[in-house]
Structure 1
């Protein structure tokens, strides 16, 4: 795969940045694509810009503002509280159709630049319950993309079966641990690095970090 091109769906967060480093090891040419859907914190776009610039990765930002109009949720509306799902329901941060649209447009971009590989940081191990992060969805979409464009894309999900501690471990193995910890934005409240420490994304990130550091210290 070292002589092939890849597109990374990139938000500037922990997971997608780890995937970006993974892709840079796997492929000869990597392009990142970020989607602007008028998300709650434009810091996310700036984080993505800064990371790709520092790493020297070609970066596309695509306008997906229609998604904001169609799917009001805690990531697009300040007045909607960020909270986990209740009684088996989806979290308030779930954006219906987001990954379906993002991956479809990533496929269009990949087709235009001659890339056969698409990388996304979705996971159904330590995740928020989003249905469009599941392995079944990704495999189904991969077939649909290939049929829709008569292509032979391969969608890669390096984090699909990793919990957050294992994602930190992967970043460390890629030589990107400090970079990911300091320069990525995972926080729903728009605080870079270790975040606000209170929102669901920060709690999940910190638990994974603490678990991995405990494991790493045991090995020293």
Structure 2
């Protein structure tokens, strides 16, 4: 991938905003962006998610991987509810379901990308990285390649920097990768997945349930990748 050559020639790394949840995918994306020569500014969202222990994981990951800065924005999406991740009255499914599952959080990726876009403008960064994936995912509409392309188009219509000649690129390097491929990629880059939390109902210690969608994809990914799974599972 070609990065900002003008910044490279001036001796400065190009800046990028990385959406960092503290999970496996976003951590891999941070490692990828760093390997491509970006100075990484990590952004997490405290939306009163059920598994808010992932925010502690995000802090660990940002520190361990040497992010230039890490910010956590607080925005209480539980005021709206509508998802098992923001409404305690809706149970997290512990078996495979059909269609878009109740763990889908309405407009979450759009909100997170919008916040990252705002910070990118302030940083004068031309690049945003997000860890969405269209293969091993739960059917979320905001994890598809066409969605990422549409947001990038909107970003370049809506921002001062883009209008003045510095367009924004939204990178989704995991979009066509299986979970096993993602894990192999991160493993090759030296990622310690023991720092991460993926479970939708992890306890306060970060121990995973082992049965939600996210846990099932993660467990299968490690097996298929042939990489040791460092996850702490409380039911295993």
Give the match's secondary structure for 1:171.
helix
Alignment partners' CA distance in 1, 2:181 and 2:97: 27
**Structure 2 unmatched runs, 5+:** 228-236
Q: Runs of 4+ in structure 1 displaced over 6 angstroms?
A: none
Structure 2 residue aligned with 1:185: 197
Matched, 1:145 2:155: yes
Per residue, is there more helix in 1 or in 2?
1
- Bigger drift between 54-63 and 200-209 goes to 54-63
Query: 2:126 aligned with 1:113, yes or no?
Result: no
Can you list the C-alpha shifts for 1:130-171, whole angstroms capped at 9, x where unaligned? 000000000000000110014110010110000101111111
Query: Size of the alignment, in residue pairs?
Result: 209
Within the candidate set 180, 202, 206, 2:219 is matched to 206
Contact 1:194 1:202 in 2 (8 A): no
**Do the aligned partners of 1:5 and 1:27 also contact (CA within 8 Å) in 2?**
no
Equivalent position SS for 1:104: helix
- 1:172 equivalent to 2:187? Answer yes
The whole-number CA distance in structure 2 between the counterparts of 1:168 and 1:200 is 17
TM-score of the aligned structures, taking structure 2 as reference length: 0.83
User: Counterparts of 1:202 and 1:28 in 2: how far apart (Å)?
Assistant: 30
- Cα deviation, 1:27-54, whole Å, max 9, x if unaligned, reads 3411000011111122111111122122
Question: Is contact 2:156–2:168 with CA below 8 Å preserved after alignment?
Answer: yes
How far is 1:188 from its partner? 1.0
Matched, 1:18 2:33: no
Structure 2 counterparts to residues 1-220 of structure 1, below 5 A: 1=3, 3-57=13-67, 58-65=69-76, 67-83=77-93, 86-88=97-99, 90-150=100-160, 151=162, 152-176=167-191, 179-180=192-193, 182-190=194-202, 195-213=208-226
CA RMSD of aligned residues (A): 1.8
- SS of 1:11's partner is coil
Please report how far the alpha carbon of residue 62 of structure 1 lies from its aligned counterpart in structure 2 after TM superposition: 0.8
Deviation at 1:64, TM superposition (A): 1.5
In the alignment, structure 1 segments of 5+ residues that lack a partner are: 215-220
- How many Å apart are 1:86 and its aligned residue? 4.4
